[in-house]
Amino acid sequence: MRNIKKVHKAEYRPMGDLETWSPIPTRNLQMIDPFIFLNHHGPQVYPPNNNGLPFGPHPHRGMETVTFILDGDIAHKDSDGNYSVIESGGVQWMTAGKGLIHAEVSSEKFKKEGGPLEILQLWVNLPKRLKMMEPHYRGVQKDKISTWKNKEESITARVVSGSFRGIRGVFDTPTSVNLSLVHFEDDSKLEIEIPKSDNIFFYVIRGELEVNEINVPELHLAEFSKNDEKLNISSRKKSILLLGHAQPLEEKVVFGGPFVMNSEEEIRQAYEDYKAGKMGDWEQ
């Protein structure tokens, strides 16, 4: 079985009235290449006549955002002319590439009526050769997400990208990133194999899982070594796992707020290009 180096608890970083947990980057774990950032918002209940999500227009370059809507919704708009409202169970995938401006807010319906909200946004780094590719966005509702179930139907994987047990993900992506949301019922077991060369992203959203004889509680991320392919996962209670794996890029990573590039000079250029309107115009 693949060894676990350490289990990391997500850090609590509220954004005003938005409950937020972040397992990467933290003081103890900068990234799991190419997975570079995760914000876990909620779970919480918004009252009627709320302000919704606070993520108004902002730019990105050099990376991808993958947004999982467990509860609530997100209204996405960007400077390429894309607009969608994705509801509970849906996923958004945005490849920022050379740059665009987007906003992620709650729908007018959610702001008026309120309700439960839980959303995760994962940033996936792009390799140097793709950082300046054309931007792309796609939002997919729950009923269009590929699914895999075990024989007992006690485990359901919503396959977002790559593949899971032979089921292809709904998103075609520019790199070979595998991402699935795996739902476990009480006392269920799963054995999977992941190539030794891949880095694993293993974050327990809800519940509690045991993986390779190590307990991983809710809001914790397991950091793995690369000694073996096998993962034995068992649930003690209903649980949800964000499971990803990919080849590491092994390139220098420089963060500049919403930009992720390979050098400080590229970050400076990104800010200049944004100010010059090269990432698109924003029309309210």
Any binding-site annotation on 245? no
Q: Please enumerate in sequence order all residues whose Cβ is within 8 A of that of 276, keeping only pairs 6 or more positions apart, or say none.
A: none
Backbone angles phi, psi at 109, to 5 degrees: -60, -45
Q: In angstroms, what CA-CA distances link 177 with 54, 84, 235, 268?
A: 28, 24, 25, 28
Does the annotation place 104 within a ligand binding site? yes
User: Are the C-beta atoms of 50 and 16 separated by less than 8 Å?
Assistant: no
The answer on whether 41 is annotated among ligand-binding residues is no
Q: Are 36 and 216 in contact (CB under 8 A)?
A: no
Query: What are the structure tokens assigned to 100, written together?
Result: 């665009």
Tokens of 150: 């075990």
Angle at Cα 18 formed by Cα 160 and Cα 114, nearest 5°? 85
Q: How far is CA 185 from CA 69, 72, 119, 210, 241, in A?
A: 20, 22, 21, 13, 12
Round to whole Å and give the CA distance between 80 and 74: 17
**Is 58 a known ligand-binding residue?**
yes
Q: Is 151 exposed, middle or buried (0-12, 13-18, 19+ CB in 10 A)?
A: exposed
Can you say which residues are annotated as belonging to the binding site? 58, 60, 102, 104
Binding-site annotation, residues for Fe cation: 58, 60, 102, 104
